Chain A
Amino acid sequence: MIFLLMAYALIFLVNVPGLVKRKERKELVVFFILYIIGFVLGLMYALDIPIPSPMKGLQYLISDKLGLKYPQH
């Protein structure tokens, strides 16, 4: 948890001052969207909240919903 906060503080300090100084607004918006997604995922991981796996979703969509399966045996 502390490690997570430290890592994200470091990411913030490395990127944000330069972006603010150069007044790159679009960069800042995209950066913060990714930053917040990453932070929420990290927080969920640190607090042991199960994170939905994108691969499980894909498998559910392909195998169970569409009924596609690579023929094995």
Chain B
Amino acid sequence: MSEKKSSEPLLPCLERNLEAIRDALRTSSDLAVHEFNFGHDRRYRGAIVFISDMADKDEINKNILQPLMFGSLLMIMEHMNDTKGPARYSFFGVLVGAASLLIVSVRNTAVLGRTQTIWTSPSFQSIRLIDIGTVLTRMDFLIGIAQTMLIFFKCSIFLYALTTALSQLFGLKSYKPLVLPVVGIEVIIAATVFQSPVDHAEITQNAGIIYSAPLIYLFPPLTLLIAKIRGLPKTERSRGK
């Protein structure tokens, strides 16, 4: 290997990088290169390079490839260029999320005690009770803004999922023309589906738990099973390339 070659940076082209690695390590017979596609519609190509005698194949499959193929967080991460950071950031993010959930539930229990089961939004109610020196009052508007933003993000993700599913079901080229009509339906349904918050709470507490149980426990494993039977996701190799 010449000096010039060893100081070359990695190229944007995957094929040529792999070629360079194979070229550099052509004397070692146990170099393993595994190519795969990942992300939405399998549109991204990736490759994992390892020395097969030194690496546990099962561990690589279980901890690197399968999360790449199935990880739902990748819906967002696939749009990032940095490939090293996300694992660390998502771990940190989950940690922050868990900590904030703990803080919120401790705060609500401390402020509201047993009555927190009565309120429709315990966080809102406990922040509403904050009154520091009659200056820091009515902090509940912060919770109001935060919850509105949260609902906005939730609705956006659901809308994306629904329109994408519809467009895939009918084999459309793009989900974009469906967005506005679906929003039109959703606005009316949202305005009329429940008569009051009490009605909402009553229905979700009685029937909601029963109809959402199969959505949580039955359909995801069923989807995985069907994908397994159909041999999805198809890798580059099995497509005959």
Q: Which residues of A contact B (CB under 8 A)?
A: 7-8, 11, 14-15, 18-19, 24, 26-27, 30-31, 34-35, 37-39, 41-42, 44-45, 51, 53-56, 58-59, 62-63, 68-70, 72
Contact = CB atoms under 8 A, between A and B. Distances in A.
Interface residues of B, number: 29
A15 B211 contact: no
B181 A34 contact: yes
A68 B214 CA distance: 14
B133 interface: no
B184 A30 contact: no
Interface string B168-188: 001111100110111011011
B206 A41 contact: no
Nearest to B169: A30
Contacts of A63: 206-207
A72 B202 CA distance: 11
B193 A59 contact: no
B229 interface: no
A72 B205 contact: yes
A15 B180 CA distance: 9
Contacts of A54: 189, 193
B191 interface: yes
B222 interface: no
B203 A31 contact: no
Task: Kindly name the residue among B174, B180, B182 whose own CB sees the greatest number of chain A CB atoms within 10 A.
Answer: B180
Interface of B: 166-167, 170-174, 177-178, 180-182, 184-185, 187-189, 191-195, 203, 205-207, 209-211
Contact of B209 (A15, A44, A70): A70
B144 to A, nearest CB: 25
A41 B172 contact: no
Given A27-B174, A59-B207, A72-B205, A45 B166 contact: no
Given A8-B184, A62-B207, A63-B207, A51 B172 contact: no
Contacts of A30: 166-167, 170, 172, 177-178
A62 B206 CA distance: 9
B193 A68 contact: no
